[in-house]
Amino acid sequence: MESREYFNSLFDIYKELLTPKEQEAFKEHYVEDLSMQEIADNLNVSKSNIGMIVKRAEQKLEDYEHKLHILKKNTQIKEALRTKNYSLIEQIMDN
């Protein structure tokens, strides 16, 4: 999965687990496609600070997915539904 799409998918699932500042910086960078400088100007902080905030948010999102596997399970369930492999859904949910 392409990085931007991957992180947007993780953000959709886990965004409430990020701090408000992480949510805002991440959203402006990944969803609104603003540069780090534009985000820094919007939030009145340095560009390097925004880079650290976005990087921290990315790391948290990946950590949550590594522990909870919600995106992976959602993807597997969608594929099982698409192929009408309903018995696979129960197996996915048990893991």
- How many C-beta atoms lie closer than 10 Å to residue 19's C-beta? 12
The pLDDT mean for the chain works out to 93
pLDDT tens per residue across span 38-91: 999 999 999 999 999 999 999 999 999 999 999 999 999 999 999 888 888 888
* CATH 1.10.10.10 given to domain 3-68: yes
Overall pTM surpassing 0.85 (yes/no)? yes
| 10-51: pLDDT as tens digits | 999 999 999 999 999 999 999 999 999 999 999 999 999 999
| Closest to 18 (Cα-Cα) out of 61, 52, 50 | 61
Task: Please report the pLDDT score of residue 91 as a whole number.
Answer: 82
3-state secondary structure 25-90: HHHHHHHCCCCHHHHHHHHCCCHHHHHHHHHHHHHHHHHHHHHHCHHHHHHHHHHHHHCCCHHHHH
Domain limits, the chain: 3-68
